[in-house]
Structure formats: C-alpha cells, structure tokens
Amino acid sequence: MYGSQFLIQASDPDILHFRLTEDLLHAAACYAAEHDLMWKLWDLAGGNGNPDAYRLFADPIVRRQMVPIIHQAREKDAQAAEHIARAMARG
C-alpha cells in the first residue's frame, strides 16, 4: 500500500513529467490490488492480529487456499514492475 501511495504522490505533474503518469498510476493500482490480496490471506488466517493465526497457517487446507492468492499477488507485483520500467524508459 505504501508503494501505491508513493507512486500516486510521485505522479504529481509538479514532480514528474505527465507522460510518466499513466504507467505510474497503473503500477499504483497493481500495488493497491496486491495489498487487498494480503488482507485476503489474513482473512484465511482468522484476521489481522489473530493470536492463533499460526494454527491456521499449519492447516494444509488453508495453505492450499492461500496458494492462488499468493500467485495473484506475485502477478500484480510483476505487472507493477513492468509499468514502472515503462515509465522510467520514457523519462
């Protein structure tokens, strides 16, 4: 989420040229989506701050449910990196 907020702030036309904005905002959206996916992982472990989360992480059924979420998060991260690379290539 912090990466998303940083990229939104960095996209300010007073800071960077406007031609970088589109890709940086797409990257910010990817990071925001990745953050949302992490909350889904927490939900599978009983919620953020659950003192018994480690027990749920030990459950193979829960871990299997986490796998596609982790893959989605990895894809969002790769997409964000591609958008950032495109923006920097234009800069």
Give the tokens for residue 13. Answer: 């036309």
Say how many Å lie between the first and final Cα of the chain, rounded: 24
* Three-state secondary structure call for residue 41: helix
Tell me which residue of 45, 36, 50, 48 sits closest to 65, measured CA to CA.
45
pTM of the predicted protein model: 0.87
The model's pLDDT over 26-78, given as tens digits with 9 standing for 90+, comes to: 999 999 999 999 999 999 999 988 999 989 989 999 999 999 999 999 999 99
1-29 b/e (C-beta count within 10 Å ≥ 16 → b): eebbeebbebbeeeeeeeebbebbbbbbb
